[in-house]
Chains A and B, each alone.
Chain A
Amino acid sequence: MSANHLRLPPFGPKFGGAAEYIVIPALALFSSLVLFGIFVASFGKNPLDLYFYMYQGAFGTWFSWQNTLTRAAPLILTALCTALPAQLGMVIIGGEGALLIGALAATGAALVLPSAPPLLVDVAMALAGMAGGGLWIMLSGALRHYRGVNETISSLLLVYIALAILNFLVEGPMRDPASLNKPSTYSVGAANMIGSIPGTEVHWGLVYGLVAAVLSYILIYHTVFGFAARVAGGNIRAAKVVGLSVGRLILIICFLAGAAAGLAGMMEVAAVQGRANANLAAGYGFAGILVAFLARQNPLAVIPVAILLGGINASGGLLQRRLDLPDASVLVLQGVIFVMVLASDTLYGRWSIFKGRAS
C-alpha cells in the first residue's frame, strides 16, 4: 500500500482532474505564505514587506529570475535521483553521495584527457559523471536486491562515505599542490568549462535538468519499461507473477537515478567550480529529496518545484539584508510549504466540484 502512497497519477492522461492538481497545491502554497507571514509578524516585521522582498528576490527582476534558475538547476537533477527509484517503491536519499562521486569521476575524466578538444572532454566528463553517480546508487539497489539491505539506509550511509572519499582524494592523491589553502584537484582546464545559456547567466545544467526530467517522464509513463517499473512498484509479487525481472528493473532504475545526480555533480565541476573540492558538498543532493517528495515523485512536476525552491533560496539573501531576518527564515518557510503541501494530499478527491470532471 505504501508504494502507491509515493506516487500519484501522471498529469498527462488524466487532464480531467488537472484542476485539482493546480488548485490544491496553490491553496497550500497560499496558506503557507499566510502562516509564514504571521510567524514573521510575531517578530515585529511587516509581512507585506516580506512578501514584496520575496517576490523581488526570487522573480521580481531579470537578475532575480536568473538567480532563481541557477539555484534550481542542480535540484532538478538531484530530485530525479529520488523520484526515479520511487517508481519502484524505493526510497533513495543518497543523491548527495552520487553527486560527489559523479563530480570526482568527471574531474578524473578531464584530467586524463589533458590535450583533447573541449567538446570531447565535456562529453567524457558527462559520461564519467553519470557512470560514477549511477554506479554509486546502483550499489544501493544491488545491496537491496541481492542482500536485502534497506536502500534508504545504505544510500544515506554511502553519502558520508562518498564525502570521506572526496575529502581523502582531494587532500591526498588528487591534490593540486598549488591549491594551498583550499585543497582541490587540478583544474579541468578553462577551455573545458561549460558556459552559460546564451543571453543569460544561467549555466547549461538547467537545460540538462529539463531534458533529463522530460526523458524520465517519457520513460516512466510512456514506455513498456516504465510501465513494468510501475507494476513492480505497485506490487512486487504481481510483477514476479507476470514474469518481470525485478532485479534488472531495480539496477537499471537506480543507475539512471544516480546518473542524474552524477550529472549534477559534473555540472558543478564543469560550470561552476572548475575543479573538485569540498565545496561540492553544498547539500544539493539533500535538497533534491525535498523537491522529489514535494513533486510527488513525478519527473515533470520536479521542474516547477525545483524553481520554486530555487526562488525561495534566491530571496533569502534579500530577507537577511532588508528585513534583518535570520538566514534560517528560508528553511522555516520551506518547511511550512512542504508540510502544508503534503498535508493537502488529503484533500484530493474530496471536493465534489472536481469529482464530476475527474472521472
Chain B
Amino acid sequence: MTFDTISRRRLLQGTAALGLGAALPIGGARAAATTIGFIYVGSRDDYGYNQAHAAGAAALKKMAGIKVVEEEKVPETDAVEKTMESMINLDGATLLFPTSFGYYNPHVLKMAAKYPKLRFEHCGGLWTDKDPKNAGSYFGYIDEAQHVAGVIAGHMTKSGKLGFVAAKPIPQVLRNINAWTLGAKLANPKVTTQVIFTGDWSMPVKEAEATNSLIDQGVDVITCHVDGPKTVVENAARRGAMVTGYHVNQAVLAPKAYLTGAEWNWEVLYPRFVKMFTAGETIPNFYRGGLKEEIVKVSPYGAAVPEAARKQADGVKAKLTAGSYVIFKGPVTDNKGGIAIASGVSRGQTDPELEKMNYLVEGVVGATS
C-alpha cells in the first residue's frame, strides 16, 4: 500500500534527520521479529479482565522471535482504530489482539478490511462468515469454571442466599450468573442468587455498595462479573462474607474468604495462536473452548472448603473436562416461570443459542433489563 510505504519512508527520514536513528527500533522491528500488538481497555494490573490478558501477553514475550507492544486504557472509539494503525504503521505489528469486547464492531472489522494481509484476533466477538477472513474471534467458556465455583458456593452458604455483582445484563454475564447458580443448586437445590447490576464495567463505589447491600440481605457467598473484582472481593471479605473470584486468582486479596474462582488461562491460548501464526497456519476464525481446551481454569480451593464440597466440585470439573457434561440441559425454567430450555433439549457449549442468552434461571432474583 502506498500510504504504508510513504509513511514508513517519512518516518525513517525523520529519524535520520534528528540523529536519533540508533536509539529507535523503527524499521528494524519488522525484520527481526514478529511484532504482536495488545490493546487493553483498562489498566493492565486491575486484578481482573485486563490483567488476565496481560498475563497472556507476558507469556508471548518469553517466546523467541516475538516482540510484543502493548497499549492500555484505549477507549472503544475511533481511538482504538488509530491505535491499531499506529501499531501497524509505526511498530510493524502483523498480529493484533484488541482485547475488549467493544472494539470488535465496527473498529476491528474496519481495520481488518483495510489491512487484509494482517491478522486481527479479537476476544469475545462473534465472527461470522460475512466478516473479513483475516479477522477472528476467540473466547472461553468461562461459565464452566463458574459452574464449578457455584458448586462450592452452594456448599458453603449457610443462609442459602448467594450474591452476584454484575456490570450489565448482557448474554456473557447472564450465562455466568446462570451457570454459577445452576452449579450451586447441584449442592443445595434451595439456594437463590441475588443479582445487582452496577451499570458499567469499572465502578468501585457502586460495586462496594452493591456488595454491602447483598450482605445486608443475608447473602453470605458473593461473586462478580466486572472488570476488576478487587473491590468486591475485599469488601465482601471485610464484612465476613465468602467469595468466589473471577478473571484471575484473587486469593491473595482475601486468603480466608476466597473459596475458589473462575479464571482465564490466556497464557496457554496465546502461545498456541502465535505458534500457528508464525508457522504460517491459519488461526481458526471462530475459536471457543473451556476447561478441556485449557482456556479457562478453576482457582485452587481455599482452606475453608470442606472435603465433601471439593469432591463434588472436582467431579463436575472432571466431567466438564472430559466433555461428557452439559450445564444448560432442559428442562430449565427462567425466573419468571417460563421455559428457558425445553425438556429434552441439551444446549452444549458450542450451541450458538447460548451466546444469545437473555434470561435468568429460576432461583436468581433480579431482572434482565
Tell me the dominant secondary structure on chain A's binding face: helix
Query: Is A282 a contact of B79 with CB atoms below 8 Å?
Result: yes
Contact B82 A180 (CB under 8 A): no
Q: Assuming A61-B14, A279-B76, A321-B91, what are 17 further A-B pairs, CB within 8 angstroms?
A: A48-B20, A57-B86, A60-B11, A62-B10, A171-B169, A180-B170, A180-B171, A180-B356, A181-B101, A183-B170, A283-B75, A317-B83, A317-B86, A320-B70, A321-B69, A321-B70, A322-B25
> Least Cβ distance of A221 to chain B in Å?
33
CB pair B77–A56 under 8 Å, yes or no, is: no
Q: Are the C-beta atoms of B85 and A67 separated by less than 8 Å?
A: yes
| Minimum CB distance partner of B76 in chain A | A279
Interface presence of B106 (CB below 8 A): yes
| Interface residue SS majority, chain B | helix
Name B84's closest neighbour in chain A (CB-CB).
Answer: A317
How long is the Cα–Cα vector from A67 to B172 in the complex, in angstroms?
Answer: 33
A29 close to B (CB within 8 Å): no
Mark each residue of chain B from 95 to 137: 1 if its CB lies under 8 Å from any CB of chain A, else 0: 0000001101110000000000000000010100000000000
21 A-B Cβ contacts within 8 A?
A: A49-B23, A63-B3, A63-B85, A67-B82, A67-B85, A70-B82, A172-B369, A180-B171, A182-B104, A182-B105, A183-B170, A274-B106, A279-B76, A279-B102, A313-B79, A317-B83, A317-B87, A321-B71, A322-B24, A322-B25, A327-B73
Is the Cβ of A182 less than 8 Å from the Cβ of B170? yes
B293 within 8 A of A: no
B87 and A321 contacting across the interface, CB-CB below 8 Å: yes
In whole angstroms, what is the CA distance A52 to B11 when docked? 11
A71 in contact with B79 (CB, 8 Å): yes
Task: Known contacts A48-B20, A61-B89; decide if A70 and B78 are in contact (CB<8 Å).
Answer: yes
Q: Scan residues 289-337 of chain A and give those whose CB is less than 8 A from a CB of chain B.
A: 313-314, 317-318, 320-322, 327
Known contacts A56-B14, A62-B6, A321-B87, A314 near B170 by CB under 8 Å: no
**Contacting residues, chain A, for B104 (C-beta < 8 A):** 182
A273 within 8 A of B: yes
Q: With A and B bound together, what is the CA distance between A42 and B104 in angstroms? A: 39
A interface, size bucket: 35 or more
Q: Is B255 an interface residue (CB 8 A)?
A: no
- Nearest residue, chain A, Cβ from B9: A61
Distance of A264 from chain B, by nearest CB (Å): 12
Return the chain A residue nearest B104 by Cβ: A182
Within 8 A of B (CB), among A45-74: 46, 48-49, 52, 56-57, 60-63, 67, 70-71
What is the chain A residue whose CB lies nearest that of B72? A327
Determine if A180 and B73 form an interchain contact, defined as CB atoms under 8 angstroms apart.
no
Contact between chains at A181 and B106 (CB < 8 Å): no
Distance in Å: Cβ of B14 to nearest Cβ of chain A: 5
Residues of B within 8 A of A (CB): 3, 6-7, 10-11, 14, 18, 20, 23-25, 69-79, 82-83, 85-87, 89-91, 101-102, 104-106, 124, 126, 168-172, 199-200, 355-356, 358, 369
Bound together, the chains give a CA A67 to CA B86 distance in angstroms of 9
Q: What does the 1/0 interface line of A180-214 toward B look like (CB < 8 Å)?
A: 11110000000000000000000100000000000
Q: Which A residues are CB-close (under 8 A) to B106?
A: 272-274
Chain A residues with CB below 8 A from B168, complex form = 171, 183
CB distance from A15 to the nearest CB of B (A): 34
Contact in complex: B86, A182 (CB < 8 Å): no
Q: Which residues of B contact A283 (CB under 8 A)?
A: 75
Interface contact A56-B11, CB-CB below 8 Å: yes
Docked pose: A177 CA to B355 CA in angstroms: 12
Interfacial chain B residues near A52, Cβ < 8 Å: 18, 20
B171 touches A61 (CB 8 A): no
Asked if A278 is at the interface of the complex by the 8 Å CB criterion, the answer is yes
Closest CB of chain A to B75's CB: distance in Å?
A: 5
Closest to A328 in B: B73
How far, in Å, is A174 (CB) from chain B's closest CB?
A: 12
* Minimum C-beta distance from A318 to chain B (A): 6
Which residue of A60, A171, A320 contacts B72 across the interface (Cβ within 8 Å)?
A320
Residues of B within 8 A of A60 (CB): 10-11, 14
A52–B20 alpha-carbon span in the complex (Å) = 8
Query: For residue B200, which residues in chain A have a CB less than 8 angstroms away from its CB?
Result: 167, 278
In the bound complex, CA of A61 to CA of B27 (Å): 14
Asked whether any CB of chain B lies closer than 8 Å to the CB of A151, the reply is no
- Given known A-B contacts A273-B106, A327-B72, A180 and B355 have beta carbons under 8 A apart: yes
Q: Is A268 close to B, CB under 8 A?
A: yes
Tell me which residues from 3 to 62 in chain A have a Cβ below 8 Å from any Cβ of chain B.
Answer: 46, 48-49, 52, 56-57, 60-62
Nearest CB in chain B to that of A172: its residue = B369
Contacts of B90 in A (CB 8 A): 56-57, 61, 63, 318
User: A272 near B77 (CB under 8 angstroms)?
Assistant: yes
Using CB atoms, name the residue of chain B closest to A178. B356
Residues from chain A with a CB closer than 8 A to the CB of B18 are 52
Chain A's nearest CB lies how many Å from the CB of B35?
10
Nearest CB to that of A272 among chain B residues? Answer: B78
Closest B residue by C-beta to A182: B102
Residues of B within 8 A of A273 (CB): 77, 106
CB distance from B103 to the nearest CB of A (A): 10
In the assembled complex, the CB of A208 is this many whole angstroms from the nearest CB of chain B, namely: 15
Kindly report which residue of chain B lies nearest to residue A320, judged by CB atoms: B71
